[in-house]
Amino acid sequence: MSDVRLSKNFLLSELCKSSTATRLGIDNTPTDQAIIDKIKAVTENILQPVRDHYGKAFIPNSGYRCLELNRAVRSKDNSQHRKGEAVDFELASVPNEELAKWCRDNLDFDQLIFEFGSVTDGNAGWVHCSYVSASKNRKQVLTINRSGAHVGIV
């Protein structure tokens, strides 16, 4: 799996890597080609454009999650991570709010969530972005923080 190239700068293994899976002995390797194709679409339409724009190497915090891993991190069974459609990421030295706004303004996506970020601490939180297809993407933008979910980046 580690040598499957999804785009110029990303490998399938990077989208499936999980310290939680390693710690718990969970095999987070996708075997369904349809899921691998969706992971590739997220990589080509979300991650690679971010990498190209900022010119900074990074590995996503969380990409694909099998059901067992998804439950271990206490996410919902219908999470887009389970389908290979979502990725969580951040870039060193780029405030997460700035990163979320760049994604909002420059990418075609299904859902963009600025999660647990802070305008006073650029390192807080992360960006969640999903991709379904050019014809099905909702372009939904949310902020999730301690006070709940909010429309837009706030």
What share of the chain in percent tops pLDDT 70? 98
Model confidence over 16-34: pLDDT tens digits?
A: 999 999 999 999 999 999 9
Distance CA 46, CA 107 (A): 7
Tokens of 54: 């900022």
Alpha helices in the chain (DSSP H): 12-16, 19-24, 33-42, 48-54, 67-72, 80-83, 96-106
Instruction: Give me the domains of the chain, ranges plus CATH numbers.
Output: 12-151 (3.30.1380.10)
Could you read off the pLDDT of 57-96 as tens digits, one per residue?
999 999 999 999 999 999 999 999 999 999 999 999 999 9
pLDDT for 1 equals 47
Buried b (16+ CB within 10 A) or exposed e, 73-110: eebeeebbbbbbbbbbbbbeebbbbebbbbbbeebebb
